[in-house]
Amino acid sequence: MQLSFRWYGDGDPVTLDAIRQIPGVVGIVSALHDLPPGVAWSADAVVALRQRVEAAGLALTCIESIPVPEGIKLGTDDRERLADAWCASVEAVGAAGVPVVCYNFMPVFDWTRTSLHRPLADGSEALAYVEGELSAVEEALASGGLPGWMDAHAPDDLRRLFAAYAEVDTERMWDHLGWFLERVVPVAEAAGVRLAIHPDDPPWPLFGLPRVVTSADAFDRVCDLVDSPANGVTFCTGSLGADPAQVAGLPADAARLAARGRLHFAHLRNVRRLGVRDFTETAHPDGDVDLNAVIRALAEAGFDGPLRPDHGRQIWSERGDPTVRPGYGLFDRALGATYLRGLWEGATRS
């Protein structure tokens, strides 16, 4: 595996120089964060990003994400044009020599939390989700987004989107995903890029919007839609692990998807469930997900793709620091990286 770390570009307070000092980290996961959804990326811009990362002694192992415009998810009349732009971006990524693209198919809202600063017993702060608090944060979430969201919506736009999604049930959403994959997978294959869909986070419908990539079974269905090695998944343990029906099966799911040759990117983090649709993120070693078993499954399958620690808590001097992107500070993600690396060594060294 290629131990990697997310970096938001030059505006990220966590610098490449700092990331390079984390033992074992060789890769960077990033994107052209300044471009809105629907705009085709140029190979020059991706090459410039790659060179920036390489100048710091690291490799650009994955693009996370090329945002999928709402028109594609809704199946609107301009979806051909939007899919062409997405394909052009994939070609640009391939031409720049970056092998993996992560993306998601969540309507309107990307990953969602109701609190960015839930206090934990040890005095640190973590991202958390409590279903009962969702409506209180709806508009702030939609307009401001959370770290890594590549799209946010003004209130009018939001009303229009909700009205449009009222016509799209789960099966239509699957049809739209199938339509999209039929167009983009052959392009990815030709460009030498592996596509890796990210599961919906949390893995259940929010605000009555249809969400489809909500389980490891859904991952298999995505892979079946277009049967190509370029059509794979981002195995995110924190997203799927928030569902009590799924958490114990994650090591077996990782083994199955890796054996299918479709597990292209791993997001490893932990969560603890506190009640029904109520969970908090935790330090990588301390939660409901057995990351040791997931790493063993990946190691046994010979996984050689990018793997990154996912969100971290805010700890030490990062607590209360408004310059820290919630979930994406340096310290706890670095601890997560060294933990994951240690598990990998334990699983692979005799």
Which parts of this chain interact with ligand DNO (CB under 6 A)? 64-65, 102-104, 110-111, 148, 198, 267, 311, 327
Hey, which residues are catalytic here? 198, 236, 267, 310-311, 328
Q: How far is the CB of 250 from ligand DNO (least distance, A)?
A: 16
Question: Identity (one letter) of the amino acid at 184?
Answer: V
State whether residue 126 is helix, strand or coil.
strand
Strands (E), 156-303: 194-198, 231-236, 263-268, 270-275, 278-282
161, 70 Cβ separation under 8 angstroms: yes
Nearer to ligand DNO, 96 or 233 (CB): 233
User: Minimum distance between the CB of residue 238 and ligand DNO, rounded to whole angstroms?
Assistant: 8
| Coil vs helix vs strand at 293 | helix
The residue (of 16 and 101) whose beta carbon lies closer to ligand DNO is 101
For residue 259, the number of C-alpha atoms closer than 13 Å in the C-beta half-sphere is 8
Distance in Å, CB of 127 to ligand DNO, minimum: 9
Q: Which is nearer to ligand DNO, 191 or 213 (CB)?
A: 213
User: In whole angstroms, how close is the CB of 211 to ligand DNO at the nearest point?
Assistant: 12
Nearer to ligand DNO, 112 or 124 (CB): 112
Placement of tokens 């090459």 in the chain: 47
Q: Tell me, rounded to whole angstroms, the distance of Cα 168 from its chain centroid.
A: 24
Give the tokens for residue 140.
């702030």
| Strand 125-130 to 115-119 pairing | antiparallel
Closer residue to ligand DNO in complex, CB, 102/258: 102
Residue 57: which residues within 8 A CB-CB, separation 6 or more?
Answer: 20
Taking the complex as a whole, the smallest distance from the CB of residue 179 to ligand DNO amounts, in Å, to 19
